[in-house]
Amino acid sequence: MIGEQYTGIITGFKSALAVICIAVSLFLLSPWIAYARLPSSLKSPIEAKGPLSALRACLNEIATGAKTSTRGYELYSKNGQSFAMLNMNFRPQVILPPEHVRWLVTQPEDILSHAKASDDADALGYIWPLFDASALHSFSKVLQNDLTRNVTQTERDVLEEVQHIMDELVGQTECWKEVNMVQVFERIMYQATQRVYVGLPLCRDTTYMGYVKGYAHSLGTAMVLAAQLTPWPLRQVTALLAGLPVYYYVLQVRSYLSPLFKERMKRLKAKEGTKDNLKGEPRNLITWMSNGVLSGIGPKSVSPSEMVTWLGILALLPTDNLWTTCTNVLLDLLSSESEHAYLHTIREEAKTVFASSKESGKPVSHGLHHIDSAIRESLRMNSLSPRSLHRQVVRRGGVVLPDGQKVPTGTWLCVLSGNIQRDEDYYEDAQAYKPFRFVPKLVESGSDKAPLLPLTNEKYLTFGYGRHACPGRWFSFQVMKIVIAYILVNYDIQPLEKRPDNIVFADLNIPHLSHIIRIKRMA
């Protein structure tokens, strides 16, 4: 009897071991299996001649991805050819050359899907298994319409928050003070945008703001871990584990915002049928999203808790990009100041614009051409992500690329936006930092109502391009211009001897978090 029990245990152990061995083998073979689906005629800068070399290429991508993709850009993209790359997530990606950008963004959704690529690239469906991606895409219209349309009306609120924070962090005395640049910009950007999203007094509530930052940081971390750094067979497990802090913070944020949404929707619903149902309501994103729901945007049945989730993804999460960009802009300017009077030119223009705005009532941000150009240039030089315009082939039978290569269903496509924006074929002295590079075009295209120079085109892809470009790009850009203008007009900052290198990790390119600058209030 005992012998039979031992025999059963041993048999079960052998079966389990066999299953584990098969699972591990399939896991290790998965990058090669996916790579082998691509046409053999498709070029690649990596050596992936078998399962082990494909696995090694995926693992090397985390450290050498930018170098490898740049080599592919020089070898193939510059010659109008597509090429293949392997990623840390074990899924290959086909990189299209710059000439194919317009073709890529004009393909119908049932051929090349932006939604499918975004959902996969963000891993939101894995972090939140019941996540409604279609509702999120619907609510992006609120950013495109209401938030963008009300940009000029929110300037005063943003300026008030910047002044409030700078007075608190730096003080009003004319003495030099050392501050952490990242911490200053992070505080400003979160609080200033929250002033527009939820209004006073909540945007100055330290407990609430702590939850907002925790939510944005934890969600961003979970997305990077699950989407970029985890092989796709393990993505669901990683997403659920990395999402645990997200669930905690979203519950805390909901405890503050759900009652606001509920109360705002109740008031707006009572005003339905009136000439102006928004009259007397706070000009913030809570109001505009609530009005959007009542106007039929998104699903027919929606709860305040769900609205908080969408607000978090659409508005709170991108805030980290704002302070990252502002840090890059100031680092670029401060490290170039010894040779050029960039700060003086920007400061004098901003002083003039602030003074004229008080008299005319025109928006400050519309006249800040030199700051506008400096932000564009820093984004050109320091792309937050080296790849953009992600699409997934969804057409049955695959699709033929403009260069004749046929790729199967499920293939990821994109372009190397970082390399395009540093290409001498498209920008004169492309490797040189020229903060006023875009000023002539800004002045030429400007008007009394708003600057008309687009933030996106086929060779400037920081905010995407085409119908799926970042919906909140104008608002984000205006906020950054106002913040930098206020700081440079009211504060003196000591130049840097050298531009500190950014942290480049996988597809991330961000400044170090410990930059200390010396700053004082100007007389």
Quote helix, strand, coil % in the chain, to nearest 5: 60, 10, 35
Strand stretches in 74-165, DSSP E:
83-85, 93-96, 112-113
Count other Cβ atoms within 10 Å, centred on residue 125. 17
The residues pairing with 414 across neighbouring beta strands, listed in sequence order, are: 95
CA 477 to chain centre: 13
The sign one gets for the Cα dihedral 217, 219, 220, 225 is positive
* Residue 21 marked ligand-binding: no
Q: Closest Cα partner for 322 from 205, 228, 192, 203?
A: 192
Question: In the block, which residue shows the tokens 């005992």?
Answer: 2
Strand stretches in 298-433, DSSP E:
388-393, 399-400, 406-407, 412-415
Report the alpha-carbon distance of residue 421 to residue 423 in Å, rounded. Answer: 6
Angle between helix 304-311 and 244-270 (nearest 10): 120
CA distance readout (Å), 303 to 13, 71, 114, 272, 287 = 49, 49, 27, 19, 15
Sheet strands side by side (includes 491-493): 177-180, 516-521, 491-493
How do 93-96 and 83-85 pair as beta strands? antiparallel
CA distance readout (Å), 61 to 68, 93, 486, 506, 507 = 8, 12, 41, 7, 9
Those residues with Cβ within 8 angstroms of residue 208's Cβ, 6 or more apart along the chain or in another chain: 202, 253, 256
Question: In the block, which residue shows the tokens 């913070």?
Answer: 249
Count other Cβ atoms within 10 Å, centred on residue 386. 24
Binding-site residues for heme, in ranges, read 470
Binding-site residues, in ranges, read 470
